[in-house]
């Protein structure tokens, strides 16, 4: 499996190179050249497996330059009972007077944010990727956060050898608890920085740093290289595909899937478009999905785009009680449109 830029179809790289690099040299995002396909028999087989085993099965479809042993090592280290008591991503039932819904609980990780599902795995994928591309450079992880990603990334990368992490957050754009979580983070290789503006300003600034040749050359001269822990990094996106497929397998085991290929609807609270994009990739792989529902708060630029086909970010920015969704420039939409 090779990966290309959303802005250039000609040059391709391995999964390890894409994960290590984080973002393309041209400012685009890495996307797979093709989407692997799952047959119904694959779902029948995966329903018998644990979450960790399902993750290994699905990730192997995308990380073709990783050995089965390497993937196993990364996944086993990420999803331990200590980090995810009772197991990651369980399904619970919500019964209403009109229907039955199933909630995919993604808050069982170390920071109680759904970002833990990917950010506990990404450090292991990244360090393995650095080995595979034969570099001894220190990876400097730059992160822009509207709240949850910052703490989850800091927790995931703290004291990981060969890495340093710097998180940028909007001074008045995260909750008091999220700010305290970040400012009190332990670790010898972690740092945080408040900026004036909102998440979009932080994310735009980080992307500019990534593509600044002068800064990159200066970093290289000190034996370092940039990478990302935001959802622009392929290594953040791939682990998220797993829990949608795993949830369907759980529904099969709960006998809620009455026939082969029975379709489900998936509703995803959406900010930077990474989480729902992972659901879309799962659908493209063969997950039986009827509809993906893009849920927004007052910053509803994405829902307006999906309704009208017009992406208009020239609108008021609202600071809400769901800061992780307070975004007007959704980076991962570029992947959908490429």
Which tokens belong to 94? 């919500």
Number of Cβ within a 10 Å radius of residue 144: 26
Calpha distance 222→259 (Å, rounded)? 58
- Asked if 150 and 174 count as a contact pair (C-beta separation under 8 A), the reply is yes
Q: In whole angstroms, how far apart are CA 236 and each of 84, 149, 170, 176?
A: 18, 11, 21, 25
- Best CA proximity match to 30, nearest among 242, 286, 274, 282: 274
Beta partners for 143? 167
Closest CA to 49 of 78, 87, 102: 87
Q: Which of 115, 151, 179, 283 is catalytic?
A: 115
CB atoms within 10 A of CB 35: 18
DSSP state of 293: E
Residue identified by tokens 């290590």 is 20
Q: Is 159 exposed, middle or buried (0-12, 13-18, 19+ CB in 10 A)?
A: exposed
131 is catalytic: no
User: Which residues belong to the active site?
Assistant: 115
């Amino acid at each position: 499996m090779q990966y290309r830029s959303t802005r250039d179809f000609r040059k391709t790289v391995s999964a390890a190179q894409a994960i290590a690099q984080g973002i393309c040299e041209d400012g685009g995002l890495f996307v797979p050249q093709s989407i692997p396909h799952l047959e119904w028999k694959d779902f029948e087989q995966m329903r018998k497996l644990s979450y960790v085993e399902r993750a290994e099965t699905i990730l192997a479809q995308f990380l073709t330059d990783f050995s089965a042993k390497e993937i196993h090592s990364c996944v086993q280290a990420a999803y331990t009972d200590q980090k995810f008591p009772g197991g990651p991503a369980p399904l619970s039932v919500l019964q209403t007077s009109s229907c039955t819904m199933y909630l995919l609980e993604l808050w069982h990780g170390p920071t109680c944010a759904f970002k833990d599902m990917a950010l506990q795995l990404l450090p292991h994928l990244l360090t393995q990727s650095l080995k595979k591309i034969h570099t001894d450079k220190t990876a400097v992880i730059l992160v822009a956060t509207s709240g949850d990603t910052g703490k989850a990334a800091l927790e995931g990368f703290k004291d990981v050898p060969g890495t340093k992490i710097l998180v940028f957050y909007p001074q008045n754009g995260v909750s008091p608890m999220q700010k305290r979580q970040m400012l009190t983070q332990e670790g010898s290789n972690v740092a945080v920085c408040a900026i004036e503006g909102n998440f979009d300003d932080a994310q735009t600034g980080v992307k500019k740093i990534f593509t600044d040749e002068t800064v990159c050359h200066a970093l290289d001269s000190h034996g370092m290289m940039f990478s990302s822990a935001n959802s622009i990094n392929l290594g953040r996106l791939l682990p998220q595909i797993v829990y949608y497929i795993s949830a369907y397998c759980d529904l099969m085991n709960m006998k809620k899937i009455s026939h082969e290929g029975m379709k489900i609807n998936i509703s995803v609270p959406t900010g930077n478009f990474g989480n729902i994009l992972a659901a879309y990739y799962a659908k493209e792989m063969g997950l039986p999905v009827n509809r993906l529902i893009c849920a927004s708060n007052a910053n509803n630029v994405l829902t307006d785009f999906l309704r009208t086909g017009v992406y208009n970010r020239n609108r008021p920015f609202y600071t809400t009680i769901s800061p992780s969704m307070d975004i007007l420039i959704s980076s991962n939409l570029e992947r959908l449109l490429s």
